[in-house]
Copies of this chain bind each other. A is one copy, B any other.
Amino acid sequence: MIDFVTIKEVKLKLGELCKSKRQSYDMSQEDLAEAIGLSRYTIQKFENGKNATLDTVLKIANHFALLKQLKKAIDKTIEDENNISLY
Chain A residues in contact with chain B, CB under 8 A?
3, 5-7, 9-11, 13-14, 16-17, 20-21, 24, 51-55, 57-59, 62, 66-71, 73-75, 77-78, 81-82
Contact = CB atoms under 8 A, between A and B. Distances in A.
Interface of chain A, main secondary structure: helix
- The count of identical subunits is 2
B52 A54 contact: yes
Contact of A58 (B11, B53, B81): B11
A81 B18 CA distance: 11
A48 B44 CA distance: 29
29 contacts: A3-B68, A5-B68, A7-B55, A7-B58, A7-B62, A10-B67, A10-B70, A10-B71, A10-B74, A11-B54, A11-B58, A13-B71, A13-B75, A14-B74, A16-B74, A16-B78, A17-B74, A17-B78, A17-B81, A20-B78, A51-B53, A51-B54, A51-B55, A52-B54, A53-B53, A53-B54, A54-B54, A69-B77, A73-B73
